[in-house]
A and B are shown apart, each in its own frame.
Chain A
Amino acid sequence: MTLRATTSQTVGPFFGIGLERLNCAELAGPGVAGERVTIEGRVLDADGVGVPDAVIELWQANSHGKYAHPEDPQDKPVDAGFQGYGRIPTDEDGKFRFTTIKPGAVPGPDGKLQAPHIAVSVFMRGLLRRLVTRIYFPDEPGNAEDFALGLVEPGRRGTLVARLAPGLDGVLKWDVIMQGPGETVFFDC
């Protein structure tokens, strides 16, 4: 190795002017195959206060479990019009909401399929470096065998799984808790 990766710095409070051009909360256009899902939640600080200056980014496979990327070697169909990318800033209460299709299963390092998941990057004022987490889906039999969930102590796995909330009409709920009780699991990625 001849060089060292550049040091990360916070996005600060004013990232909106630079990043909003690629905001995307509707990941799948009308023609894209797959089960529609809407996920909403809040980004909360150590006091349980909503973080109004955070932005989450999403990366996921299509409904067949294929990434729109040249290094995905799988012989699975690509969906024209589905990039798998999302970027959603939080509102003044720390809320975010997006709609996508449920991703298919993709291979894991052990040769087994990973349970369907969305890879998430979290940025905000006060955060000096990106945090990485994942969103899994409720009632998914593959979750029990998933290698990444298996890296997490059982009592914390639930922070990675969106849940069906009563009164939300099928909308899934998933919060990002930065610190304290119920703290979201973040990965060294």
Chain B
Amino acid sequence: MNYPPGYRRAVPGTQPEYLHPTYVSSRKRAPAQPLIYLPHTLSEITGPVFAPETGNVKACDLTRQHSGEPLGERIIVSGRVLDEDGKPVRKTLVEVWQANAAGRYRHKVDQHQAPLDPNFSGHGYAMTDGEGHYRFITVRPGEYPWGNHHNAWRPAHVHFSLFGPAFATRLVTQMYFPGDPLLPFDPIYNCTADESARQRLISAFDWESTIPGHALGYKFDIILNGRDATPMEK
């Protein structure tokens, strides 16, 4: 029996190392031993499949999850999920979460002195369509201070979580905004050695998805590991 091929590994430098000392929390949580290379088996080329939910518009419109409108600047965040060969990743789940416009998460651990917004929960999800497109309506998240070092501030960002077609393609990342002056100082953004890999985490302002008189558009394409060309050994 021939099994389908595995997935490609990261190009060196394009993914963060586990230990990034300027990100203080990594110091006691990064493994000290080297990772052991695991050839992909049926366990890694399969992965959880989630049934598309239909009709739940509010899941991808974070501005319509409550009775009133959230505070802040409405934005559209959209893009495509593709593999490294540029093929769309269809019907895959995209989960997002973020701070509100004041830079506060609706989470019990977040005690930042900024107001919660009763009309904004800050999370949603969507399934990509047949061409890999996803689209969220939300508000631009605020920057916020954190305890990593003196005067540390996170740049504005939206968290993304994707499964893709297999266990091997699981990805959690963060999307940033163009021109954010905090980016050069953020140890999380700067944890990846390859500069162009970092820059691909920054969304692009996008006229095409902007809704006149209503919301600015930002485009963020997400690339998941591509497939190996050769079939796995039997």
Contacts and interface: CB of A to CB of B under 8 A. Distances in A.
B167 A189 contact: yes
The majority secondary structure among interface residues of chain B is loop
Given A5-B10, A107-B3, A117 B43 contact: yes
Interface in A126-165: 126-132, 147-148, 151-152, 156
Given A51-B29, A108-B41, A189-B44, A18 B17 contact: no
A79 interface: no
Contacts of B105: 14, 17
Contact of A7 (B15, B29, B41, B106): B15
Q: Among the interface residues B95, B97, B200, which one has the most CB atoms of the partner chain A within 10 A?
A: B97
B97 A119 contact: no
Contact of B45 (A14, A71, A152): A71
Given A14-B110, A119-B167, A127 B30 contact: yes
Chain A interface, >50% SS class: loop
B28 A46 contact: yes
B169 to A, nearest CB: 9
Interface stretch (A29-37, A166-174, A180-188): A180-188
A187 B45 CA distance: 15
Contact of A69 (B35, B49, B192): B49
A180 B28 CA distance: 9
Contacts of B125: 21
A10 B43 contact: no
Contact of A188 (B27, B32, B36): B36
Interface string A42-80: 000111010101000101010000011111111000000
Interface size class of B (residues with CB under 8 A): 35 or more
Nearest to A124: B29
B159 A2 contact: no
B188 A9 contact: yes
A53 B225 CA distance: 27
B16 A7 contact: yes
B197 A4 contact: yes
B25 A126 contact: yes
Interface of A: 1-19, 21-22, 45-47, 49, 51, 53, 57, 59, 61, 67-74, 83-85, 106-111, 114, 117, 119, 121, 123-132, 147-148, 151-152, 156, 178-180, 183-189
Q: Which 7 A-B pairs give the minimum distances between C-beta atoms? A: A18-B97, A126-B25, A69-B46, A85-B48, A128-B16, A187-B38, A126-B29
Interface of B: 1-4, 8-11, 14-18, 20, 23, 25-33, 35-50, 82-86, 95-97, 99, 105-107, 109-110, 121-123, 125, 159, 161, 165-168, 170-174, 188-189, 191-192, 194, 197-198, 200-201, 222-226, 232-234
